[in-house]
Amino acid sequence: MDNPLVPVDRRERLCMTAGGVWVDRWTGPPGKILRKDGGVRCPYCGGGEDRVVDSRAADAGAAVRRRRECLTCRQRYSTYERVEQHALAVRKRDGRVEPYRREKVQAGIDKATKNVGLDPEATRRAAARVEGRIRALGAREIASEVIGVEVLDALRELDQVAYVRFASVYKGFTSPEDFVRELAELTRRPAHGGREPR
């Protein structure tokens, strides 16, 4: 009999059922019955063996949603699997270090794009691109300035009005001349997919 826990990759499983939400880290090939030693148990009966009855992409391909059936009580529940990534830290301008939070990047993009008529999915993709670019650097600690530049690049591609809004805060504009200078730079190097300045 083959061992169902041969490590293939490491994943997180976020289990969401009527009984609650929890995260389980597990190893093993997807689609096989998993003997979970101290891992997720059936939320209905506590059974430790299940089988996958359906799998599909979730969160724009960042996760896999699996419908599972408990082999003990036959109840079904969903789990979400994500590749485990190393934690990122952000070094602020004042020297403090704090955990990277994608929600902060998303909030900055959302503020910059408010009332410009963009699809919310486009802003979520932009935040995901920013995170992807900073993770691709391979460092565990990233300067906040690097993140700011990546957000500016993402907004340049997304919407030029949003770009100027974000740049005015990020670069600390203090006069109308700062806006004029940034608009002149923006029109010299227009984004590929962005809208022309109004």
From 64, 83, 102, give the residue that closes a domain. 83
- Whether residue 93 sits in one domain with residue 75: no
- Whether residue 150 sits in one domain with residue 113: yes
- Whether residue 162 sits in one domain with residue 96: yes
- Whether residue 170 sits in one domain with residue 93: yes
- Whether residue 73 sits in one domain with residue 112: no
Q: Is residue 193 part of a domain?
A: no
In angstroms, rounded to a whole number, what is the distance separating the alpha carbons of residues 160 and 166? 10
Beta bridge partners of 144: none
Mean pLDDT within 24-51: 63
From 83, 101, 133, give the residue that closes a domain. 83
- Whether residue 119 sits in one domain with residue 74: no
How many structural domains is the chain composed of? 2
- Whether residue 109 sits in one domain with residue 76: no
Mean pLDDT within 47-73: 87
Q: What is the pLDDT of residues 180-196, one digit of tens each?
A: 888 888 888 755 444 44
In angstroms, rounded to a whole number, what is the distance separating the alpha carbons of residues 31 and 1? 16
- Whether residue 109 sits in one domain with residue 64: no
Q: Is residue 156 part of a domain?
A: yes
The per-residue pLDDT for 80 is 82
From 40, 61, 83, give the residue that closes a domain. 83
- Whether residue 113 sits in one domain with residue 77: no
The per-residue pLDDT for 150 is 94
Q: Is residue 128 part of a domain?
A: yes
Mean pLDDT within 50-69: 86
- Whether residue 64 sits in one domain with residue 102: no
- Whether residue 138 sits in one domain with residue 68: no
Q: What is the pLDDT of residues 82-110, one digit of tens each?
A: 776 778 899 999 999 999 998 999 999 99
Domain of 136? 89-188
